[in-house]
Amino acid sequence: MHYVYILKSRKDKTRYVGLMTDIKRRLQEHNSGSAQYSRSKRPYMLVWYCAFTNSQKAYDFEKYLKSNSGYAFTKKRFL
């Protein structure tokens, strides 16, 4: 399975959108500081995820969520 996920920083309430096959491990990486981009905004909480069997569809949806219209969709529907 491929997971598209949204994390929310408990520090400054910003969001992080990502794609991973092991979502529990990835959340631990974000919160431990192993993920360099998100290190300064930890700790994170998982606010939403979706599972895909097709990796290309998961990648495409992650890309959409990172776009301007995807950001608006996320803000209206998930956060």
> Does residue 18 fall inside a structural domain?
yes
**pLDDT-based confidence at residue 58 (cuts at 50, 70, 90):** very high
pLDDT above 80 for 79? no
The confidence score (pLDDT) of residue 35 equals 81
Joined tokens for residue 9: 């920083």
- CA 78-53-38 angle, to 5 degrees, is 50
In sequence order, what are the beta bridge partners of 3?
A: 20, 51
Give the pLDDT mean for 43-56.
96
> Does residue 78 fall inside a structural domain?
no
Q: How many domains does the chain have?
A: 1
Starting at the earlier edge strand, list the strands of the sheet with 15-20. 15-20, 2-9, 44-52
Give the pLDDT mean for 42-52.
95
**pLDDT-based confidence at residue 39 (cuts at 50, 70, 90):** confident
The confidence score (pLDDT) of residue 69 equals 95
> Does residue 76 fall inside a structural domain?
no
Range of the domain at 30: 2-55
Please, is 6 exposed, middle or buried when counting C-beta atoms within 10 Å of its C-beta (0-12, 13-18, 19+)? Answer: buried
